[in-house]
Structure 1
């Protein structure tokens, strides 16, 4: 049993790591031989004996712990949000991207309308994912519209204007209820969809994550946490895991999606890693929202 983020959770014997331990984990990743970042499956096989990623079993229903902010986490709803069961109430709704199939404007408007109906939350925070094509402004007109045979006129629409019922984050942070949240849509290259970066190069936008972030929201998972595909291959980002252990020593919660079959919660003893994919492997919305209570910081340096 481990008291973590406002809940007593079942874990596989993981203990809270010291700062020195986290830095040793970062050093283990940094010391990988060249080329390791391009093969996450083999890389994790080498690292998992030293880096914990224990499964967490959260109680299905529990009262909100005192002095916490309740986050209700979903992701990868792919246009089927209307088929989801009613979401539990909370302070903050987080959607970790892929709210559409191919980022069509009408789908974004429908998603925005649905968000407006979620009155059980004080705040809604949304990032884009690799399916939300029109949000990748750098690549939509030059490549994505043609590659996916979608209407190039979509590129004349400012996509964030379609999301009026949420705080949209794209490599930036916001503080809600005293909790600092950073959101990024970027993930390692994946079938040439939106917001992809090469696996062998650490993306510059990763440096934008504040050291004192409490909640990190990315579309893709870090290596070893919720990133196992149906094939058995890993899809997580080595750079992201290294960044977490090098700098993000206050990180309480990391929410992501992308790999539908990786749904669930793991921990390293300090951070809860939540793959909140709502759709399963067959794109059916069968995986419930995951509820996490994050303690409010008592102070900030």
Structure 2
């Protein structure tokens, strides 16, 4: 009994949580994890017959803030800066890239605003595809003491708060095809938007996907593990110390051989009763149809015979 109490006490000192743990699913939080697209960038070209129509309305619509314009170009913000559109046919031809780029956050658009973006811009484009998709999970769990690890070799950057606990973690590099952010969403809402979350804890796990990774959005975290390792399940104190050092000193991983890295990563997964990534995959599976249909709606070939429930002001 005394050994068990000592074990739990040491576990609290090392990990910040008790050794008696339950998975997110067991805690009844699974249905409270939300998943959505937090940013979308659609690129393509104008349907030739629609170019002049769009340009004329961009220059006259009071919901659009025109920043630059010319014979075959324009830049604008729409819907109170919720949407950014850039079009430059000459530059696209000279640089071999798409003519028009439409950027927006679906979470910030109401249904009527979403329809406005569709009708004004997306429905008038051809050869549409995604150059960027941000997939975001909002998790009502305190991720300060979770250990995040990838099976792949990726750069990791961690920023700590005043309590010396992690507040933001980055995996990868910004211009890569996949860039991962994990941060304290509750704190961000309070400091940036002056909003209070109803949850005791709220963290965001966000995948910024570019180029070819936009086609693999539903597989973007198959190599990622968000874990609660149980150090004390390892009998050898020397082995405990090595794993603790690797998990708390990022640079330590660069000092060991590849085969040793594989062995210790495997060991960390084995001693973790909870892998939050499993819960994220379950949530994504349940929402996959809805998310797929949403993406399809942005790039589907459309016709201008649709009726929309908004006033198209000129």
TM bucket (normalised to shorter chain) is under 0.3
Larger radius of gyration: 2
**TM-score normalised over the length of structure 2:** 0.23
Say which structure is richer in strand: 2
Say which structure is richer in helix: 2
**TM-score normalised over the length of structure 1:** 0.24
